[in-house]
Amino acid sequence: MAEKILLVDDETDFLEVMSERMSARGMEVTTAESALDALEQVEKGGFDAIVLDLMMPGMDGLETLKAIKRKRPELQVILLSGHATLEKGIEAMKLGAMDFVEKPADIDALTEKIHKARAEKMVLVEKQMETKLKNIINARGW
């Protein structure tokens, strides 16, 4: 099954070319040009991973990352940045980003990270299901 990716960047040309390249690699890509658009898409759900630009007008990538993690903690976020400083990278990882990639990114390396993100998300979802089931069993005394 195709990986469902949300690609977030304020550069329209970047979104167009990346989504075409990612689609050619078998991914199902949705794009968002702003943090607000991205959060609306996240609300709808169904993504395996989010590729998110760090520097965007309005709400920046780190703020968006926090908001995404609040809404859907299981979602795997890969941050993209034109100026990947170590500090920002550490901050992003602390906030729950799965990875931090510097622009221009290598599409094959990014694809690998997306595969990994999907696998990690599946593990997290399975754990969530397991916890839910345990709670139901405990609550009903089965």
CB 81 to another protein: min, Å: 8
Is residue 86 involved in binding another protein (CB under 8 A)? no
CB 58 to another protein: min, Å: 5
**Rounded to whole angstroms, how far apart are CA atoms 56 and 44?**
22
> Collapsing DSSP states into helix, strand and coil, what is residue 129?
helix
Contact of 55 with 34, CB cutoff 8 Å: no
Q: Binding another protein by CB under 8 A: which of 26, 45, 46, 58?
A: 58
Is residue 11 involved in binding another protein (CB under 8 A)? yes
C-alpha distances in Å from residue 106, one per residue of 32, 47, 94, 119: 21, 22, 24, 20
Binding mask 113-132 for another protein (x = CB under 8 A): --------------------
Nearest partner of 117 among 125, 127, 129, judged by Cα? 125
* Residue ranges binding another protein (CB under 8 A): 11, 13-14, 16-18, 20-21, 24, 55, 57-58, 82-83, 103-105, 107
